[in-house]
Structure 1
Amino acid sequence: MATYTVWVTTGQGLAASTCSAISITLVGAHGESPKHRLDHEGKDFAPGAVDEYQVPSAQCLGPIVLIRLHKEPYSFFPSDSWLCNCIQVTSPEGDTYCFPCYQWIEGYRTVELREGAAKTAAEDAQHPLLLQHRQEELKARQEAYRWKVYNPQWPRCLDVASVDELDSNNKYSLTKTTIFMLVSLVPRELELKLKGFSLCTGSWEKLEDIQKIFWCNKNPTSEYVSEHWQEDSFFGYQFLNGVNPVVIRKCTVLPENFPVTEGMVAGSLGEGTTLRDELKKGNIFLTDYKILEGIPTIQLNGEQQYLAAPLCLLHLTPGGQVVPLAIQLSQHPGPDSPIFLPRDPEWDWTLAKIWVRLANFHVHEVNTHLLEAHFLCEVYCMATLRQLPMCHPVYKLLIPHTRYTLHINTLARTNLIQPGGVFDKVRGDSCPLVRNVSYEALCLPDDLEARGVSSLPNYFYRDDGMRIWTAVESFVSGIIGLYYQSDATIKKDSELQAWVTEIFTEGFMGRKSSGVPFTLQTRAELIKFLTMIVYCSSARHAAVNSGQYDFAAWMPNTPATLRAPAPTTKGTATLRSILDTLPAVNATCALLSLLAVVSYEPGDLRPLGYYPEEHFTETEPKRLIAAFQAHLVEISKEIQQRNK
């Protein structure tokens, strides 16, 4: 008779415990134990508890490779869910085996868990039982996580109609759900309704009137924006360090459809230089919103809404500021598409900048934020769940970065961007903007080089982003080096190849022009791809999400829609005409509500590198995680010191 000591760790939270009967079967290299009930007097499996049990076996089982957890009915108690964190088993010989779980076990069923050491399929080649376990796990996941087409222009997504269909492993925690609903939505909506603004369909009478809904939720950044939004230096600054810092690019040759002349900009460039000289020096930059051309709009409050596809030329001044030099509000130059300049009348120039900010809002929300930081990350999450078993090293590396992805994206599809949703109340047609997203744009070093902004001063998104990219890359490189000894091991990993192919097919529509790999041939390719996924799922999303309310709460700085066509002549804009062009009062309220929802981070926040679930159980990956965390702490200190 052999006796094994088993420790069962239950997750935290009021609902984590279970009243079901829990039994265990130990499966070793030399046999398996009989099913054994885990039961003490009193309450077992309380939230956060570590319960110890003795499990008998008629024989020594050898190395423990699998365990089976059996969750079954107990007495009159109804079916429930149990958050099982991990199981630890110590053999009579003193060997200890760890079995990560970190999942909700819903209803009555048997869950098989394998020992926690990360293994590729090749390493299991001589173990039919383990290979079978991998295959059965993936088959079950592929049945549970099915693809569907939400919109032919979007990446594929999870096939559910609402968050109610998600399993508990992909839903918000009770804490996050409660705070999200009570803190993020109810007070702001109620406050606006009580003031009567959300029922007003007319124009703002004065800019100062916007303060009446702005003041109650302002913060130091949003207050600064309200005071400086008309300044050219702040307008340019936002292309570097606002919420869409990925559209500005160096301009060495003026586009043919943007005929800016030397005479137009001579007064703005200063003495002793010319536009030609500044182009040669690399001091001219461009934002081009051609992607918006032809996008349909709808009516709000019975009024047609308008959009434009502007071009904006910017200049890096000797003092290190980026300021606008010229703005054209369409892609087609001509008498009806004048080029607006800083020397134009104040309200003409202000209105031109407002149109650029409108265009920037749409490209940011739909492409930079929704597509690249949400829906593509859902593809990475889905492919990881469908193609990589829990024991796969890449699964263990990525799974912490997929937390809540399926929940928040399902909410977006059902509450924000569907016809009639919150986004439609702000501006209309939801999102036909997905065109030609590229691998280059998602990989920060490549993107900075392609846009020619590697040496642009005061570009803190670049500086901080590169610090974080480098830290992630170093961590990923260490993990991959542990489990893949050569490029050949990458090529032969069929699960890994199926994973990257699914991302290419379902996320990037099989477009080879995207530059996204559809196979992985080398460790370097895998490291770069994984670094991109981790960076885009964490730091990049934070950069394009968290400041949305700060920069757009003062609506004139970032309108979501405009109620008059783009001007075709100069000299016609007045403050009154701008107020009649800006969103109506109720549309402004809707924008504030939207921004409060999408940029607020309620509860359950986990900083990058914080991994409370120990999916990696071996010593060396734990050391790499600790080094990664220490690296991130140093980066945070540097940023905080700089920000002072």
Structure 2
Amino acid sequence: MVRNYKVTVYTGERACSATLNSVHIKLVGTDGESDRTWLNSMMICGGSASTYDVCCTKSLGKLVLIELDKRHCYLTPDDAWFPDKVEVKSPEGNIYIFPIHCWICDRETHRFREGKALRIFDESHSLGEYARQQELIQRKANYGWEEESPGVPNCIEADGPCTLPYEVQFSFTKDTEFKFTAGAAILELELKGLEFCTENWKSLDEMKHVFSNKHTQLSDFMQDHWMDDGLFAYQFLNGVHPTLIQRCKTLPKNFPVTDDMVFIPGGSNLSNELKQGKIYLCDYKNLDGMPANIIQGIKQYLMAPLVLFHKRPDDKLMPIAIQLKQIPADDNPIFLPTDSTYDWLTAKIFVKSADFSEHQLNAHLLRTHLLAEVFAVSLLRKLPMVHPLYKLLIPHTRYTLHINELARKQLIGPTGLFTQFAASGGKGLTMILARSLSSITYRSLCIPDDIADRDLQDVPNFYYRDDGLKLWNVVYIFVQGVIKYYYKSDDEVQQDSELQTWIRNIFEHGFLSKKETGIPQSFATVSELIKFATMVIFTCSCQHAAVNNGQYDYGAWMPNTPITLQRPPPTKKGTTSELTMLQTLPPIDVTVQGIAAVWLLSRQSSDYVPLGHYPEDHFTEKTPRQLQKDFKDKLDDLSKQINERNKDLEIPYTYLDPKTIENSVAI
């Protein structure tokens, strides 16, 4: 008797997702398999759902997997096809869903498992075990590791984004918009004659018209108020680098600030304020001794300053002392707000230039982009699509490998913008990255632990902390629900060999087997797995948004965030002026290249996916899908709370509003 299986093929809605090639399918079950059946490709259109009949002479039993292949005919081009999923209704009335969500662009046979998540010890059929093994063998071939530089996390083995597998490349929409944004910025600079102008700025007013129509409300505010001490301090809490400042109860021995140097309102003194926990420190020791770049034949300057802040009775944080080099000396004065206007301003400019390098290379590049890449490559190499953790984490890897390959070519490569124009570019770049990796700890990647370790639980007006802790909690509850649905006991976690191989791969290739980082080498408990998966999602979405999305807001006005400085810091007080400041700031061409870069890196594409949105249905079971919905609802509620709070703020903090956070490191 003929058994008829109804097969519905769903093709993605993205650009160029349809195919004119011949598509074939084979159904494979516990009791047999169908013939390889041709599907009419003329019905396979972008965003379509096309239904076909696959006839068999007997029941196939429980469906385990499907096989898909695509062959071009003599008169049709060999194109790529992006199926979202295949749904099969058996003669018995059972519905099987096979998630795909990837490009098929070759003539090979591709196997896809039924959508129910399975751990390796759940496999009960030899066909499933075989398909699992073959998938990982192919993925290891497609996603190899490469050592880019000693002491730096390993990266994907590739020669530019175009050599990456199709499934991890930008969409046509994303690629087109990215290139247009970059091209439009450079064209505007060329038309204004700024791109190749190596002269120094003659005045601050000249800088106000670099881009005529690229303004944000905050970038304009920064332009008008960047000299204010309060705004200077505010940025270390709520700007793009809120992860360095810490409470200071004992001054570092190399920062000899005394009571008689600083003015404390209300009749107190520095010693008392230290004891009461009202003093805070930013220490750029990570940059100490790093060689500064040579740009256009001119030696640049990169300092490793120490900055002291005081929380006043009105809860406002203010800078009270700056030392620009780590070793105290007569030619390394401690600058104070009571110094001359340009002495104090010049000191703050050197701090913000150092902050640019520490932020870009450590907080941004290393701790979000490079770690997200490690998480992505390990996931693709070690966990098959049917694994529950793959389904949980794969949405948070979207476009990461592509954007990082672009960065290696266009930003931090030998001819990249950062290499050519940043003080920390060139030889210092990889040295800073290696030193930064050696300072990473697992606790510093988990915001509740990081805030506690920096002793910042009660600092007022710290919106990065407030929103970040709430986001961590929402992500944690979601992850906990999903993982506890699949792992009922610690024994099951320990028994999952794929899971253990995955975390070991991250430890070895991401953290170079450094035990002192505290990164787990294996998972012994469900709670350990929950915390680590929460950290991965938070890093790839929330943390990246916090250190990325405000780059143009705070960097469009160059004196607030100089990419480099071309004169040494003053060695004595009373030697600065507006002229020396302008001569210290980067020249015109370096300035505009830096601003163009932060403009590009702050632009979201029209196809970005906000945190908590899952347009691709990797999970098919009811419980995890409901958990995804609950996750999105909680994020929507948090977004409303943040927007309500922001109404009363002079500078709204928006970077951790869930609606502005992308699911992955994609820009």
TM-score bracket, normalised by the shorter chain, equals over 0.9
Aligned residue number for residue 70 of structure 2:
71
8 A contact 1:476–1:530 mirrored in 2: yes
Deviations 1:408-436 (A, max 9, x none): 00000011101221112322323421222
Aligned residue number for residue 356 of structure 1:
351
Residue identity over aligned pairs, in percent, reads 44
Aligned residue number for residue 636 of structure 2:
633
CA shift, 1:215, in A, is: 4.6
- Distance in 2 (CA, whole Å) between partners of 1:22 and 1:419 is 44
Aligned residue number for residue 34 of structure 1:
35
Letter in 2 for 1:475: F
Aligned residue number for residue 440 of structure 1:
443
Aligned residue number for residue 252 of structure 1:
249
Deviations 1:251-270 (A, max 9, x none): 010000000000001x2x11
Q: Secondary structure at the match of 1:198?
A: coil
Letter in 1 for 2:291: P
8 A contact 2:237–2:245 mirrored in 1: yes
8 A contact 2:15–2:171 mirrored in 1: no
Letter in 1 for 2:186: E
CA shift, 1:20, in A, is: 1.4
- Distance in 1 (CA, whole Å) between partners of 2:121 and 2:15 is 41
CA shift, 1:177, in A, is: 0.9
Q: Secondary structure at the match of 1:533?
A: helix
Aligned residue number for residue 5 of structure 1:
6
CA shift, 1:219, in A, is: 1.5
The 3 A distance-change label for structure 1 pair 14 and 239 is closer
Confirm or deny that 1:595 pairs with 2:598: yes
- Distance in 2 (CA, whole Å) between partners of 1:605 and 1:14 is 14
Letter in 1 for 2:215: K
8 A contact 1:4–1:92 mirrored in 2: yes
Aligned residue number for residue 418 of structure 1:
413
CA shift, 1:284, in A, is: 0.4
CA shift, 1:314, in A, is: 0.5
- Distance in 2 (CA, whole Å) between partners of 1:215 and 1:457 is 36
Q: Secondary structure at the match of 2:78?
A: coil
- Distance in 1 (CA, whole Å) between partners of 2:383 and 2:209 is 52
Deviations 1:172-226 (A, max 9, x none): 11111111111x2122211111111222212111111111215542221000001
Structure 1 stretches lacking a partner, 5+ long? none
Picking from 292, 301, 321, the partner of 2:296 is 301
CA shift, 1:75, in A, is: 3.8
8 A contact 1:362–1:560 mirrored in 2: yes
Deviations 1:584-604 (A, max 9, x none): 111111111111222222221
- Distance in 2 (CA, whole Å) between partners of 1:73 and 1:422 is 42
Aligned residue number for residue 620 of structure 1:
623
Picking from 492, 500, 503, the partner of 2:503 is 500
Confirm or deny that 1:49 pairs with 2:48: yes
Picking from 150, 153, 157, the partner of 1:152 is 150
Q: How many residues align?
A: 638
Structure 2 stretches lacking a partner, 5+ long? 648-667
TM-score (norm 1): 0.98
Deviations 1:360-401 (A, max 9, x none): 100000011011110110000000000000000000000000
Letter in 1 for 2:196: L
Aligned residue number for residue 386 of structure 1:
381
Confirm or deny that 1:582 pairs with 2:590: no
Aligned residue number for residue 222 of structure 1:
219
8 A contact 2:145–2:156 mirrored in 1: yes
Aligned residue number for residue 89 of structure 2:
90
8 A contact 1:23–1:36 mirrored in 2: yes
- Distance in 1 (CA, whole Å) between partners of 2:531 and 2:395 is 18
Aligned residue number for residue 204 of structure 1:
201
Aligned residue number for residue 121 of structure 1:
120
- Misfit runs of 4+, over 3 Å: none
8 A contact 2:265–2:312 mirrored in 1: no
Q: Secondary structure at the match of 1:448?
A: helix
Deviations 1:492-525 (A, max 9, x none): 1100000000000000010001111111111111
CA shift, 1:440, in A, is: 1.2
Q: Secondary structure at the match of 2:355?
A: helix
- Distance in 1 (CA, whole Å) between partners of 2:323 and 2:246 is 17
Letter in 1 for 2:370: F
Confirm or deny that 1:133 pairs with 2:128: no
Aligned residue number for residue 337 of structure 1:
332
Q: Secondary structure at the match of 1:432?
A: helix
- Distance in 1 (CA, whole Å) between partners of 2:175 and 2:230 is 40
- Distance in 1 (CA, whole Å) between partners of 2:551 and 2:633 is 29
- Distance in 2 (CA, whole Å) between partners of 1:577 and 1:214 is 25
Confirm or deny that 1:242 pairs with 2:220: no
Map 1:159-198; keep pairs closer than 5 Å. 159-182=157-180, 184-198=181-195
CA shift, 1:240, in A, is: 0.5
Map 1:226-625; keep pairs closer than 5 Å. 226-265=223-262, 267=263, 269-427=264-422, 428-429=425-426, 430-434=429-433, 435=435, 436-625=439-628
Letter in 2 for 1:469: W
Deviations 1:50-75 (A, max 9, x none): 00111100101111111111222334
Deviations 1:617-637 (A, max 9, x none): 000001100000000000111
Q: Alignment RMSD, CA only?
A: 1.1
**Higher deviation after alignment, 527-536 or 148-157:** 148-157
- Distance in 2 (CA, whole Å) between partners of 1:75 and 1:418 is 42
CA shift, 1:463, in A, is: 0.6
CA shift, 1:78, in A, is: 2.3
- Distance in 2 (CA, whole Å) between partners of 1:303 and 1:309 is 20
